[in-house]
Amino acid sequence: MNRSEERPDLTRPDAGTILVSRWNVSTPQHQRAAAEATLGEWDRADRPDAMLALYALLSLDGDHVLYYAQWTDDEAHEEFVRTKRPELVRRIDAGVPGIERPGLTRYRLHRSCRSDITTRPGLVVGVRFETDGPVAQKALADLVVERLEAERVPGMISANFHLSKDGTKVLNYAEWTDEDAYHAFTAGTVSPALRESIDEIPGVRPKLGELAQYRMYGSVVNIPAG
């Protein structure tokens, strides 16, 4: 394993499951302490080979840390949760008390739209929609990806649509060059048109989605032997 601040390889083929969880905190100082303690514990932990990567992102409003984890499969993660996670979390809470954990969602990556921009993202935007099942999930993700591929939005590095395995959520993990590019997009013509199209898809709730903005803090990434 290796501590890193690199952007995630969101399309790595061996990631059979993606675990996204939000840890609520009280202040920006609490936020950084929680992220640092978590990455430190994972870096030192006896991890299974199935754990591929863990990324910690800080919300710009300072009230939570978003963790994006890639594992080879759900079974390996569930075994870790049963046998080793309680002690890992206990050590984190001993050093950084007061973290609230609403739970995690299991996703799989469905489709991505990527530009030719190679710079590291200055902003990550997470947009989550609630859906009534796999049909609505796929309709939403496919519509937005196809529209973004046709428009080629300036400053958008990638948009990565994840479908929850229970059919109830869609997460767009979107990378942007900076906040100005993202705000130009939301103020332009493409974003309102997308919203109108999303409004017409049955089984998508809420229509505008739940949005949060982040900056990458750090990661623990599996470096394969050899």
Query: 32 near 45, Cβ under 8 Å?
Result: no
With 50 as the cut, is the pLDDT of residue 226 above it?
Answer: no
Q: How far apart are CA 14 and CA 97, in angstroms?
A: 34
Residue 160 amino acid letter: N
pLDDT over threshold 80, residue 225: no
pLDDT tens for each residue of 124-163 = 999 999 999 999 999 999 999 999 999 889 999 999 999 9
pLDDT (tens digit per residue) in 47-71: 899 999 999 999 999 999 999 999 9
Amino acid identity for residue 8 in this structure? P
- Residue ranges of domains in the chain: 2-105+216-221, 109-214
SS3 content of the chain, % helix, strand, coil (to 5): 35, 35, 30
Instruction: Give the whole-angstrom CA distance, residue 144 versus residue 221.
Output: 30
Q: Could you tell me the fold of the domain covering 109-214?
A: Alpha-Beta Plaits (3.30.70)
Shared fold status for 2-105+216-221 and 109-214: yes
pLDDT-above-70 percentage for the chain: 94
In angstroms, the Cα distances linking 170 to 33, 81, 85, 204, 217 are 29, 24, 26, 9, 23
CATH for the 2-105+216-221 domain, from 3.30.70.100, 3.40.50.2300, 2.60.40.10, 3.40.50.720: 3.30.70.100
For residues 165-175, average pLDDT: 96
Average pLDDT for 32-46:
95
